[in-house]
Amino acid sequence: MAQQRAERADAVRNRRAVLHATERLLAEGGGEHVSLDRVAALAGVGKGTVFRRFGNRAGLLQALLEERSRELRDAITNGPPPLGPGAPVRERLLAFLDGLGAIAEDNAVLLSAHEQACAEDKYDDPSYQFWHRHLSVLFAEARPDLDADFLAHAVLAVFDGNLIRHMTPPDDPRRFTRSIQQMATALLDRGDHQAVIPQPIPEQDR
């Protein structure tokens, strides 16, 4: 039922080659220069093969993204706390943002290219829906007074490849993750006391 017949050996080989070629092109040139012609050429396969495997440009990039995030997905579903079930909401949320932030920082170019290719249907992508549901549940639990569904979308909207590249200085590759964790923390804190430790910081002008 899962598969009537195993995938043919050459098909498997080609799928790997295409993904690998895509990685290489993304790594060397800017994400815009990754045309499917070039991917096919570098992978040593025909263009038709790329489309048969991945459907379209968005599908190819999505497959790559999925590969990079499968581990995190599994850890959230089945792994030990704080990523997996069982930890307090706050710890779980921070662990999740740490994981997703790392992936995003490491793959900002891929992320940009994917956003570019996806256009509308980004929100139907199963990966997106997984992250959204996870965040949504956490927010709903911690802040039933807010619109958790919206907050989940809002947090994910910040995982924008271009934005990440724009705000990540070379000497501080994890600035993005720290900042979004700080923002999420601020969102979790209700009007009542606790945490955050307000730093004096008199004021900042720019």
Partner DNA sequence: GCATATCCGGACTGACAGTCCGCCTCAGTG
Partner DNA sequence: CACTGAGGCGGACTGTCAGTCCGGATATGC
Tell me which residues touch DNA (CB under 7 A): 4-11, 13-14, 33-38, 40, 44-49, 51-53, 56-58
* Token pair for 4: 């009537």
- 57 vs 92, which CB is nearer to DNA? 57
Cα three-residue angle 63-69-71, rounded to 5 degrees = 125
**Residue 28: contacted member of DNA, a second copy, none (CB under 5 to 8 Å, by partner type):** none
Question: Site map for a second copy, 57-96, x if CB under 8 A?
Answer: ----------------------------------------
User: In the range 169-198, which residues lie near a second copy by CB under 8 A?
Assistant: 179-180, 182-183, 186-187, 189-196, 198
**Which letter does DSSP use for residue 7 in this model?**
P
The Cα 172–Cα 164 span in angstroms is: 12
The residue from 1, 2, 6, 201 that contacts a second copy (CB under 8 A) is 201
Q: Does 3 bind a second copy (CB under 8 A)?
A: no
The Cα 51–Cα 36 span in angstroms is: 9
The Cα 124–Cα 5 span in angstroms is: 29
The Cα 105–Cα 171 span in angstroms is: 13
* Region binding a second copy by CB under 8 A among candidate stretches 50-58, 62-70, 79-87, 143-151: 143-151
**Residue 158: contacted member of a second copy, DNA, none (CB under 5 to 8 Å, by partner type):** a second copy
- 61 vs 94, which CB is nearer to DNA? 61
The Cα 134–Cα 144 span in angstroms is: 15
Q: Does 143 bind a second copy (CB under 8 A)?
A: yes
The Cα 136–Cα 120 span in angstroms is: 21
The Cα 9–Cα 11 span in angstroms is: 5
* Token pair for 105: 């920082």
Residue numbers at the binding site for a second copy (CB under 8 A) = 32, 112, 116, 119-120, 122-123, 136, 140-141, 143-151, 153-154, 157-158, 160, 162-163, 165-167, 179-180, 182-183, 186-187, 189-196, 198-199, 201-206
